[in-house]
Amino acid sequence: MIVPVTGVFAAVLGILLLVLSAHVVRFRIKYSKGMGVTDNPDFEAAVRAHGNLVEYAPLCLIMLGIAELNGVASGLVYWTGMTLVVGRLLHAWGMINGHGGEHKARAIGIVLTWLAILAAAILLLWNVWQVYG
Protein backbone atom coordinates (compact mmCIF):
# COMPACT_ATOMS: atom_id res chain seq x y z
CA MET A 1 0.00 0.00 0.00
CA ILE A 2 1.17 3.53 -0.71
CA VAL A 3 0.79 6.71 1.32
CA PRO A 4 0.37 9.46 -1.29
CA VAL A 5 -0.98 12.13 1.06
CA THR A 6 1.81 11.72 3.59
CA GLY A 7 4.29 11.45 0.73
CA VAL A 8 3.40 14.91 -0.55
CA PHE A 9 3.83 16.46 2.89
CA ALA A 10 7.13 14.64 3.41
CA ALA A 11 8.35 16.02 0.06
CA VAL A 12 7.32 19.59 0.92
CA LEU A 13 8.97 19.38 4.34
CA GLY A 14 12.07 17.87 2.73
CA ILE A 15 12.32 20.91 0.46
CA LEU A 16 11.85 23.22 3.47
CA LEU A 17 14.64 21.32 5.25
CA LEU A 18 16.99 21.91 2.31
CA VAL A 19 16.13 25.63 2.24
CA LEU A 20 16.78 25.97 5.97
CA SER A 21 19.97 23.92 5.65
CA ALA A 22 21.28 26.23 2.92
CA HIS A 23 20.49 29.21 5.16
CA VAL A 24 22.60 27.68 7.95
CA VAL A 25 25.44 26.80 5.56
CA ARG A 26 25.62 30.44 4.39
CA PHE A 27 26.25 31.50 7.99
CA ARG A 28 28.77 28.69 8.53
CA ILE A 29 30.73 29.82 5.47
CA LYS A 30 30.45 33.50 6.38
CA TYR A 31 31.82 32.93 9.90
CA SER A 32 34.07 29.91 9.11
CA LYS A 33 32.22 28.02 11.80
CA GLY A 34 31.89 24.29 11.13
CA MET A 35 30.08 23.55 14.38
CA GLY A 36 28.19 25.62 16.89
CA VAL A 37 27.27 29.27 16.37
CA THR A 38 28.74 32.69 16.91
CA ASP A 39 27.16 35.43 19.00
CA ASN A 40 25.21 36.52 15.91
CA PRO A 41 21.50 36.10 16.77
CA ASP A 42 20.59 35.59 13.10
CA PHE A 43 23.03 32.67 12.87
CA GLU A 44 21.60 31.10 16.00
CA ALA A 45 18.03 31.67 14.75
CA ALA A 46 18.88 29.95 11.46
CA VAL A 47 20.33 26.94 13.29
CA ARG A 48 17.33 26.70 15.60
CA ALA A 49 14.79 27.08 12.77
CA HIS A 50 16.52 24.16 11.03
CA GLY A 51 16.85 22.12 14.22
CA ASN A 52 13.27 22.73 15.23
CA LEU A 53 12.01 21.36 11.92
CA VAL A 54 14.16 18.26 12.39
CA GLU A 55 12.84 17.83 15.94
CA TYR A 56 9.11 18.07 15.18
CA ALA A 57 8.40 17.07 11.58
CA PRO A 58 9.62 13.44 11.54
CA LEU A 59 7.38 12.23 14.37
CA CYS A 60 4.29 13.84 12.89
CA LEU A 61 5.08 12.49 9.41
CA ILE A 62 5.51 8.99 10.84
CA MET A 63 2.18 9.27 12.65
CA LEU A 64 0.47 10.56 9.49
CA GLY A 65 1.95 7.72 7.44
CA ILE A 66 0.75 5.13 9.94
CA ALA A 67 -2.70 6.73 10.02
CA GLU A 68 -2.89 6.70 6.24
CA LEU A 69 -1.73 3.06 6.09
CA ASN A 70 -4.29 2.14 8.76
CA GLY A 71 -7.10 3.54 6.65
CA VAL A 72 -7.79 6.87 8.34
CA ALA A 73 -9.75 9.05 5.92
CA SER A 74 -7.44 10.82 3.48
CA GLY A 75 -9.13 14.15 4.18
CA LEU A 76 -8.26 13.95 7.87
CA VAL A 77 -4.67 13.02 7.06
CA TYR A 78 -4.55 15.87 4.50
CA TRP A 79 -5.77 18.57 6.88
CA THR A 80 -3.50 17.38 9.66
CA GLY A 81 -0.56 17.42 7.23
CA MET A 82 -1.50 20.89 6.00
CA THR A 83 -1.59 22.11 9.59
CA LEU A 84 1.90 20.67 10.12
CA VAL A 85 3.35 22.21 6.96
CA VAL A 86 1.82 25.63 7.56
CA GLY A 87 2.99 25.48 11.17
CA ARG A 88 6.54 24.60 10.20
CA LEU A 89 6.66 27.29 7.49
CA LEU A 90 5.35 29.97 9.86
CA HIS A 91 7.68 28.90 12.64
CA ALA A 92 10.77 29.02 10.41
CA TRP A 93 9.74 32.34 8.87
CA GLY A 94 9.03 33.86 12.29
CA MET A 95 12.24 32.51 13.78
CA ILE A 96 14.39 33.93 10.98
CA ASN A 97 12.56 37.23 10.55
CA GLY A 98 12.24 37.69 14.31
CA HIS A 99 16.01 37.15 14.64
CA GLY A 100 15.34 34.43 17.22
CA GLY A 101 13.15 36.67 19.35
CA GLU A 102 9.42 36.84 19.78
CA HIS A 103 7.48 36.85 16.54
CA LYS A 104 3.79 36.24 15.92
CA ALA A 105 4.47 33.79 13.05
CA ARG A 106 6.83 31.78 15.24
CA ALA A 107 4.23 31.47 18.00
CA ILE A 108 1.41 30.56 15.60
CA GLY A 109 3.72 28.09 13.88
CA ILE A 110 4.52 26.15 17.01
CA VAL A 111 0.88 26.07 18.09
CA LEU A 112 -0.12 24.71 14.67
CA THR A 113 2.67 22.13 14.87
CA TRP A 114 1.52 20.99 18.29
CA LEU A 115 -2.08 20.82 17.07
CA ALA A 116 -1.00 18.68 14.11
CA ILE A 117 0.86 16.28 16.40
CA LEU A 118 -2.11 16.12 18.77
CA ALA A 119 -4.52 15.57 15.85
CA ALA A 120 -2.33 12.81 14.41
CA ALA A 121 -2.17 11.12 17.82
CA ILE A 122 -5.95 11.34 18.22
CA LEU A 123 -6.49 9.99 14.69
CA LEU A 124 -4.25 7.01 15.45
CA LEU A 125 -5.87 6.28 18.81
CA TRP A 126 -9.37 6.70 17.35
CA ASN A 127 -8.50 4.38 14.48
CA VAL A 128 -7.17 1.68 16.81
CA TRP A 129 -10.21 2.02 19.07
CA GLN A 130 -12.53 1.72 16.04
CA VAL A 131 -10.80 -1.43 14.83
CA TYR A 132 -10.02 -3.19 18.12
CA GLY A 133 -12.19 -1.46 20.72
pLDDT of residue 43: 96
CATH of the domain at 116: 1.20.120.550
Q: Are 71 and 92 in contact (CB under 8 A)?
A: no
Q: How many domains does the chain have?
A: 1
Host domain of residue 96: 4-132
pLDDT digits (tens, 9 = 90+) for 41-53: 999 999 999 999 9
Query: pTM for the full model?
Result: 0.95
Phi/psi at 70 (nearest 5 deg)?
-80, 0
pLDDT digits (tens, 9 = 90+) for 51-80: 999 999 999 999 999 999 999 999 999 999
Identify the CA nearest to 91 among candidates 42, 44, 49, 57. Answer: 49
pLDDT, mean of residues 80-92? 98
